Chain A
């Protein structure tokens, strides 16, 4: 269909009419887009601003936008005055997210290779099996996991979360990595094999440079999902292996006196994800849609 459509250039009269009309509505829609963007980012901006206000200025009505900025909220959050230190939960979250991401990559990359470049028979069935495990609600497998962990003494142990986060992210990683590996042109691989290049050499010299950005994006998305996870961590950890989101739940019933502290906590815990997310912006959609959309 596309081939039969002849591309026409604008005649002078069309060119004279079309652009101004488009420009006027374009300005309006551009402004609208800006307004919506600001509206969506506003709660986050408010969160950051409040985190830099003193508790007195944070809890006012109407809001005191231009109140002096202070680091008191952060000082309180990091335990200068009251409460438990957030450092162990933050370190636990970092450990669980980083180690499980590494494990996911070690398992997912070979699997994705077997599903794309030299696909096994019935590879689509295998892909759908991976996806179906993602659709199984976490809550439906939680109790046996809890009972088994209790039985083998793994409750409140960060390694239990690492294993679970690995299984949680593995299907996404396999799907993403498959779509990245599928971008490697088969012709190049064939040419390499005709030229007598070995498998490892082909992987290292041809495949790796193409999929490296994909590996980076996959890692970031696995990191984000592990970092955000609450339900497993809430049920399976207590004091020793508590993660940052579980630590945050201690603020659920907080009252107004701690608003700046709550916002500082939300900012600190969100910061790694915000950084990772902005870095992976372009690849984010591919990861979230399990690599189905390029």
Chain B
């Protein structure tokens, strides 16, 4: 039964051409446009409105007021700076660490697979759970592991800093670096394992030092993987909510934009201003995203030329 149907279907498919090709694509495309694009249009509209759920009577058109308030408001401006500092430091540190660890793991040694598995583990702990463990089990000044180790090493008189209070942003950055270094390491390791081995071997035999090999061969090959890791990492970390929410609850100057927007919308119920801040985040993300797309399309070109 099926065979006769398919014989008929085949030429029909070829004739109908484009639409038969597009058909399998459409459900996904339509679904995604409705669920992701329309809400953003909504955000855009609300960002130009006076809309606070606590004052329903004052709803109306606001022009650029929300944007002006967002950009002049000290809290939001601090949140923008915090977001940049947080994202840049987490991405750069985890990228650098990730690269060094990937270089170590690219070599053969006893138990390499096991070390790799240990390295990946931080990335596999649910982000809220990881942040909770850092907050309560590691950073806590009275019974946390860090101060416990200090006591264990230096005795009863050891310094017992209150990590989260004295260095709030650094505490968040450290926890995030711990979670994201494995991600960078995995991408860079994939890059390392795709490098042309024969050329590097030849260079070694011709007397190039390990550093020369790294500087002139490995690193240029790795560049696009570093870029990809950095840009994908930025996209995820700009949006970070879990760690800020859990470790400091946005206090002590660690509130980034996603957390501030969440606050403005969820607690202050100021829909207009939350939306304007959301639009600001999108504009910032578009800048990063444009770079990311360029990197990915260079990977595409490589695939095409293969």
Mark A residues whose CB is within 8 Å of B.
1-2, 5-8, 10, 14, 26-27, 29-30, 32-34, 36-38, 40-41, 43-44, 46-47, 50, 58-63, 107-108, 110-111, 113-115, 118-121, 124, 126, 128-148, 163-164, 166-167, 170-171, 174, 182, 198-201, 224, 227-228, 230-231, 234-235, 244-245, 248-249, 251-252, 254, 256, 259, 262-263, 265-267, 269-270, 273-274, 277-278, 281, 284-286, 288-290, 292-294
Contacts and interface: CB of A to CB of B under 8 A. Distances in A.
Contacts, number: 354
B181 interface: yes
Contacts of B149: 62-63
B262 interface: yes
Query: Which of A111, A118, A274 counts the most chain B CB atoms within 10 A?
Result: A111
B213 to A, nearest CB: 13
A43 B183 contact: no
B107 A29 contact: yes
Query: Which of A58, A61, A144, A248 counts the most chain B CB atoms within 10 A?
Result: A61
Contacts of A199: 6, 9-10, 13
Interface in B257-306: 257-258, 261-262, 265-266, 271, 274-275, 278-279, 281-282, 285-286, 288-289, 292-293, 296-297, 299-300, 303
B52 interface: no
Contacts of A293: 187, 190-191, 194, 225, 228, 299
Contacts of B228: 289, 292-293
Contact of B292 (A34, A135, A267): A135
Interface of B: 2-3, 6-7, 9-10, 13, 18, 21-25, 27-29, 31-32, 35-43, 46, 101, 104-105, 107-112, 114-130, 132-138, 140, 142-145, 147-149, 151-152, 160, 178, 181-183, 186-187, 189-191, 194, 196, 198-199, 201-202, 205, 225, 228-229, 232, 235, 238-239, 241-242, 245-246, 249, 257-258, 261-262, 265-266, 271, 274-275, 278-279, 281-282, 285-286, 288-289, 292-293, 296-297, 299-300, 303
Given A230-B242, A288-B232, A44 B125 contact: yes
A148 B183 CA distance: 35
Contact of B18 (A113, A121, A292): A121
A45 to B, nearest CB: 9
A28 to B, nearest CB: 10
Contacts of A146: 265
Given A40-B181, A43-B138, A167-B36, A252 B28 contact: no
A251 B128 CA distance: 10
